Structure 1
């Protein structure tokens, strides 16, 4: 249960000044920060105002209940009773969609932890149910990875009277008097005390394509979604090496500098090998690449939390990229000629490939995943975005303007592109599928971190397997010939 909230003083005061200068009577936005159940407190890094919706209307506005005698008296200044009866009209769906897209841009240890409301005291009190519903929608759209925390924050910035208050919102299916609880709120220097952890994580997933009767969810989207979920389970049991030393619970780290993290993966089952044993496989999806992950640890949190945040960041980053290519696929399929069916693999372009039914594809194909780029944000922290192979940094400027209300992007020379390109290869022949599942001639120790060398070794062509098969065949023929000659000589004798 969150009992105290500490906000970054500089960012929150800047947000307050910006809101007062806007001259709007109501505003809504997202709270970016971190909830720490172990400490019973939360940290707020920044407030991000929700942009206008598709109809160019503000997502939050003030509703006023007119007095009964307005028509007879004409327009007059609002009375105190009219002011007290005002409430908020909030576009919950739009705020939730904004939260979903912003959450993709946050690194480990940074999350959408609630909403802020800029409104009068009376309007806020008269809209408790609507605000609670909005927080629940935001929590659904931007969940915190593998976290059982059922609470979010509501920060109210009141201009009449002028003050800050914070409430802990309990998520659930019904609203009651205990759904919104006040908590202590203060400002301080939060960002300067954050500890930074960085991990370059190389991965390779080999996912089976089953025959039509074996699985109903056999699109590339389904296969990748299941594969990422399976990989999340494997990663959950991983240990970490920090700055060359095995992770220790009691170990402390300086907030200065970036601490290097390497993951030690446990032994895992090979899905393709298992599928081959059941003779249900008709192909394979080989998904490999590199992820640059960051996590930010708040003061007094244990180092194990930083490792959990990195694991969550890796999986959420993969899911975000899958969502991006699936969104493009939906748009591409929606633009096809009416009457065409997705059953025909010929209509799928590179963009719409995620919706393709894999066992209907007639030839091997591939797809490049969006790459993560890192942009300097608050203090020494980064925020991220994703670029398709054909996109440039100009796209980042549009994203930041629309989602974060940042008109000018930082110097593009400071934008980092640390990742190796992630790709998806779909094979259709049984030989390619089984060959990709065979262990290499030199066993790989999976108790150590996966390195770039391991990725290159796993990406070698399957020519060696073909050579081995041919050699075995020639040896069998030679042995048979020798046996035949010896048998013939014994019969003659």
Structure 2
């Protein structure tokens, strides 16, 4: 059976735009794979690589005429572009492959074909190295290669199975362009974090990146164990999203002539037994990290996708968003280590904003003090799109409220409000002792209750 891929018609116009210029272009195919259908949402040209190695020279929007040939492309550069774009994708959407416009037949020329395989292999090894960014990826190693010849304008799409050595199987793909925009089912979720994590100071100080990694691992376990409710109800995982929409529309039609809401509200609940660790270890910590805030999640699914696929996408979106913010925040730090004598340190990762791409939204992140105009630059460089500042949705997450921290920082007696390492460890030990005493009291009560019940049972049986 031939693999079929659906994409909006503007993707064809996008390819023809570069093919008509008779220039070589390479870029990423962005899309979503479900059991019901595979949809491509956008094609994003990989920016021209700069020779400048400074930190400011990451990407540029220079004209693509500077490129000479596919053979000169850097695998690292394409992989880096894929990592940056993946941060902008909501859960359930991934980099599906690469597209190329060139005059050469990349499938017939062994040199070009070898280069394409090398670029794909390196890109996906780089992406798969970060499970939090690319987790829940569909169980398939087949990646897309879309090619348009600049001279004939002939479009060819094939899939290559990676990880099979030099004998990679190549299969034809039927690429279909949709004249009408694809309809999507939107799922919105607001997930709140309010957790405290211990900090142990080593001789080299505290690594912010290491602490964030521990928070991310803990959050991943918690979210994966959570149960998802859609519009306040627990749904059957095999049911299609469009069926839920139809049922709600039919239910609301008896009360109002208006259609059902375009988006579905998602709530994640963590089972109580999963909130407690299997074993409790008491250690002397030198401080703590209070991780608090709300992650706004907006996921777009093909309407025929199942509830189980939507659950996986929402959970993956929250984790991907956290991983993206932590990575960006750590990259922006001048020094990754916090000195042990620093009693209070406030870290504010970037907040999420939405940017329109076709009939759905992708996302970007703004650091404190950055204006929406900063998102326009990212969208232009990474997605090769022109949008206006008014198109950026900035109100899904509000900036962090630092008033409490500022007041604490200004207070000369603020050190008295902070527990010393000894006080923190004592509190942890006291908590453990109180819990043990509670367990002991309950055990004694149950023991004596069973004894009394046995005596009463014997008494009544004899009576």
TM-score, scaled to structure 1:
0.69
Q: For 1:157, which of 148, 156, 159 is the aligned residue?
A: 148
Q: For 2:396, which of 405, 418, 423 is the aligned residue?
A: 418
Distance verdict in 2 for CA 1:310–1:191, change over 3 Å: farther
Cα offset, 1:230, TM superposition = 1.9
Q: The residue matched to 1:296 in structure 2 has which SS?
A: strand
Does the 8 Å contact 2:9/2:180 carry over to 1?
Answer: no
Q: The residue matched to 2:140 in structure 1 has which SS?
A: coil
Distance verdict in 2 for CA 1:212–1:59, change over 3 Å: farther
2:95 is the alignment partner of 1:107 = no
Report which of the two structures shows the higher radius of gyration computed on alpha carbons: 1
Does the 8 Å contact 1:292/1:419 carry over to 2?
Answer: yes
Q: For 2:343, which of 363, 366, 380 is the aligned residue?
A: 363
Cα offset, 1:106, TM superposition = 1.2
CA distance in 2, matches of 1:60, 1:35: 34
CA distance in 2, matches of 1:17, 1:437: 68
2:77 is the alignment partner of 1:94 = yes
CA distance in 2, matches of 1:434, 1:411: 53
CA distance in 2, matches of 1:150, 1:319: 23
**After the TM superposition, which residues 368-379 of structure 1 pair with which residues of structure 2 at under 5 Å, given as runs?**
368-379=348-359
The aligned counterpart of 2:166 is: 175
Does the 8 Å contact 2:107/2:113 carry over to 1?
Answer: yes
**After the TM superposition, which residues 227-242 of structure 1 pair with which residues of structure 2 at under 5 Å, given as runs?**
227-242=215-230
**After the TM superposition, which residues 159-308 of structure 1 pair with which residues of structure 2 at under 5 Å, given as runs?**
159-172=150-163, 174-178=165-169, 180-188=170-178, 191-212=181-202, 218-249=206-237, 250=239, 252-254=243-245, 257-267=262-272, 268-269=274-275, 274-275=280-281, 277=282, 279-308=283-312
Distance verdict in 2 for CA 1:198–1:408, change over 3 Å: closer
Does the 8 Å contact 1:34/1:43 carry over to 2?
Answer: yes
Unaligned runs of 5+ in 2: 52-61, 129-133, 247-260, 410-417, 432-463
Does the 8 Å contact 2:229/2:267 carry over to 1?
Answer: yes
CA distance in 2, matches of 1:224, 1:240: 25
Unaligned runs of 5+ in 1: 64-86, 333-351, 440-493
Does the 8 Å contact 2:194/2:291 carry over to 1?
Answer: yes
CA distance in 2, matches of 1:282, 1:218: 10
Distance verdict in 2 for CA 1:247–1:189, change over 3 Å: farther
Q: The residue matched to 2:80 in structure 1 has which SS?
A: helix
Cα offset, 1:122, TM superposition = 2.5
CA distance in 2, matches of 1:438, 1:298: 52
Q: The residue matched to 2:154 in structure 1 has which SS?
A: strand
Q: The residue matched to 2:105 in structure 1 has which SS?
A: helix
Listed one character per residue, the Cα deviations across residues 80-113 of structure 1 (whole Å, up to 9, x for unaligned) are: xxxxxxx743221111111111111111222211
Does the 8 Å contact 1:136/1:171 carry over to 2?
Answer: yes
CA distance in 2, matches of 1:31, 1:367: 35
CA distance in 1, matches of 2:106, 2:165: 21
Distance verdict in 2 for CA 1:100–1:43, change over 3 Å: same
2:5 is the alignment partner of 1:33 = no
The aligned counterpart of 1:470 is: none
Q: The residue matched to 1:207 in structure 2 has which SS?
A: strand
CA distance in 1, matches of 2:13, 2:350: 33
Distance verdict in 2 for CA 1:428–1:188, change over 3 Å: farther
Structure number with greater CO (CA < 8 Å, separation at least 6) is 2
The aligned counterpart of 2:125 is: 140
Q: The residue matched to 1:13 in structure 2 has which SS?
A: helix
Cα offset, 1:422, TM superposition = 5.5
TM-score, scaled to structure 2:
0.73
CA distance in 1, matches of 2:77, 2:385: 19
Does the 8 Å contact 1:60/1:89 carry over to 2?
Answer: no
Does the 8 Å contact 2:88/2:364 carry over to 1?
Answer: yes
Q: The residue matched to 1:208 in structure 2 has which SS?
A: strand
CA distance in 1, matches of 2:180, 2:300: 11
CA distance in 2, matches of 1:436, 1:389: 34
Listed one character per residue, the Cα deviations across residues 174-210 of structure 1 (whole Å, up to 9, x for unaligned) are: 33242x3222222226853321111111112321112
RMSD, matched Cα: 3.2
Cα offset, 1:57, TM superposition = 8.6
The aligned counterpart of 1:117 is: 100
Cα offset, 1:293, TM superposition = 0.5
Q: The residue matched to 1:31 in structure 2 has which SS?
A: strand
Does the 8 Å contact 2:136/2:312 carry over to 1?
Answer: no
The number of residue pairs the alignment matches comes to 380
Cα offset, 1:248, TM superposition = 1.8
Does the 8 Å contact 2:105/2:149 carry over to 1?
Answer: no
CA distance in 1, matches of 2:27, 2:92: 20
Listed one character per residue, the Cα deviations across residues 97-141 of structure 1 (whole Å, up to 9, x for unaligned) are: 111111111112222111101123534432111111111222234
CA distance in 2, matches of 1:246, 1:146: 21
Q: The residue matched to 1:176 in structure 2 has which SS?
A: coil
Q: The residue matched to 2:245 in structure 1 has which SS?
A: coil
CA distance in 2, matches of 1:4, 1:190: 21
Q: Which moved more, 1:427-436 or 1:403-412?
A: 427-436
